[in-house]
Structure formats: C-alpha cells, structure tokens
Amino acid sequence: MNDQRPATAHGGPILLAENITFAYAKQATPVLENLDLSIQEGEFFCLLGPSGCGKTSVLNLIAGFQQVTGGRLTLAGQPITGPGVDRAVVFQGEDALFSWLRAIDNVAFGPKMKGMSRHERYETARKYLNLVHLSGQEYKYPSELSGGMKQRVQIARVLANDPKIMLMDEPFGALDAQTRGKLQDELVEIWRATQKTIVFITHDIAEAVLLGDRVGIMSKGPSSRIATIIPIDLPRPRRRGYAGFGDMWEKINALIDGEEAAGDDRASNDGAAAKISLVHRHEGHAELVRK
C-alpha cells in the first residue's frame, strides 16, 4: 500500500531556478523576485499560492513563453530560452485544444510535428487516449466532449509528445467537484505509470495535498517568491478522508494565511522592518515542517 516515492529516490534536480526575477517592461515592481526552486526528476511538485501571486508567471517562464529578467533558470542544465518539446503544458482553458481537429488528431499533433508517419502517430495517439480513458471517443471533436474529457485530451496530447516535464496550470480548476476528484486520482495513476516530472499549479490546498510530493507555497505578490516548501509525507494512494490529510490541510492553510498577512504587512510598512517580520515567519514555518 505504501508505495510513496520519497524525494531522495528521485533522479536529482531536473529543473533549477536560481535567484530568478521576472518583471514586465515599464513596471517598477517585479512579479517575481529572488525566486529559488529545485525540482527533482520524477517528482510531483505542486505550486500553491494566493491568487495574483505569480504562479502562472512561474509556469510561463518554465514553459519558455516568457523569459526571466534576472537569475538562472535551467532544465537539465540548459538555460530555458523559449518553448520546447521537452516541456509540455496542460492549460486550464479548453481553448488550448484545436477545435477543428478530432480528439485523435489533437493528440497526434505533436507526433505529426516530429514527422512521424500517419500510422505511427495514430497508434501513439490511441495509446495515450486509452491511458486517459478516452477509448471510443477518438473521432469526436472537442465541442462534442465534456469539460473533463477535454482536459483528458489535453493530458493525452502532452503525454504523446513524451516531454521531460509536464506543466499543469490549474488544469481541473473549471471542472465540477466530482469530475475534478476523478481526474485528480487518474492523474496520480498516470504519473505513476509514466514516471513524468510534474509541476502542478493550483490554488486548492486539498488538491495540492492529494497530488504533490512537495508543495511550494508562494508569497503574496508582487515581488513574490517561494516562501516555503512542504513535503507531503502521506502514503499513496491518498484518500481525502485519511488521517493526516486534514492536519496537512490545516498546516498549509495556516502558512498561506501567514503569507497573506505578511504580504499585507509589506504593503503597509515599507522596507526593512517588514522584511524582518517575513524572515521570522519563515523560520517559524521551517519548524512546523520539521515537527
């Protein structure tokens, strides 16, 4: 039953953010500042934070849609300078699917770009549609699929391209609770079957506790960074009602509340005093984690 893969068993850091800063041109305060992050190969990492804290900016930087304005962001040692097939994104919006292509052609899109033969890429697409439980829906257009099915097509499309790292930006945020729960469980199954590294962005604490090996909590924006990282040492498969789940939820919730308060402090007080209070808070968190 306990087949948890602890962080030490992963294959070493695949993604490394060292002191990165990201700011839009013409804007005084950066979105992200002094952000450090190290993600292990094969890890399921959840990024959690209050809305507007720059979670999506982190994902956009890793995906290569935007470029860091300071610091170093590397994937397997190589600096990220643009989008690439080694990183794939599952978007929250279903508008990321190609509405003029059937499910199978959506999934076969990546293989087609690689120049795979028609037969080969359909075989690949069928395999991954099967993995996300969409056998029998291959020839439907996105408009004929439900919200949950569309997100499954997105997941299959990303997997068919065999990326090193999967980036997921609140992929289940727009789904109803029941569908979301089902897809969360299936995603864990897929992760275990494919051994992919996953960076999963969410604002739902329960989702992060259910899915993640580790949960990174971002400080309130602007100039946000990753304030705390909490390892989720609950055994898998996890159930929402299991002992420990609620405690973990409470712990993370308290940390986020602290971050929001710290953000408010920073907004009202200027400079050094506020920074010191933030540092104290983080030390407090670290203790919490070690308990």
Binding site for another protein (CB under 8 A): 63-65, 82-85, 87-89, 91, 93, 95-101, 109-110, 112-114, 141, 143, 157-158, 161, 163
Task: Please give the radius of gyration of the chain, using alpha carbons only, rounded to the nearest integer.
Answer: 19
Residue (121 or 225) nearer to another protein, CB: 121
CB of 95 to another protein, least distance (A): 4
CA distance 89 to 196: 13
CA distance 72 to 157: 29
CA distance 280 to 262: 10
CB of 93 to another protein, least distance (A): 5
CB of 74 to another protein, least distance (A): 18
Q: State the amino acid at position 123 in one-letter form.
A: E
Please state, as a whole number, how many other Cβ atoms lie within 10 Å of the Cβ of residue 38: 14
CB of 34 to another protein, least distance (A): 27
CB of 166 to another protein, least distance (A): 10
Cα angle 138, 140, 159 (rounded to 5 degrees) comes to 45
Residue (117 or 253) nearer to another protein, CB: 117
- Do 223 and 70 meet the contact criterion of CB atoms below 8 Å apart? no
For residue 47, what are the CA distances in angstroms to 70, 122, 230, 265, 277? 21, 34, 10, 23, 23
CA distance 142 to 147: 9
Q: What is the DSSP letter of 213?
A: S
Residue (113 or 289) nearer to another protein, CB: 113
CB of 140 to another protein, least distance (A): 10
CA distance 230 to 91: 25
CA distance 116 to 41: 27
Torsion of CA 104, 109, 112, 113, to 10 degrees: 180
Q: What is the DSSP letter of 95?
A: G
Q: State the amino acid at position 13 in one-letter form.
A: P
CB of 89 to another protein, least distance (A): 5
Residue (52 or 83) nearer to another protein, CB: 83
Residue (50 or 110) nearer to another protein, CB: 110
Residue (175 or 248) nearer to another protein, CB: 175
Residue (158 or 278) nearer to another protein, CB: 158
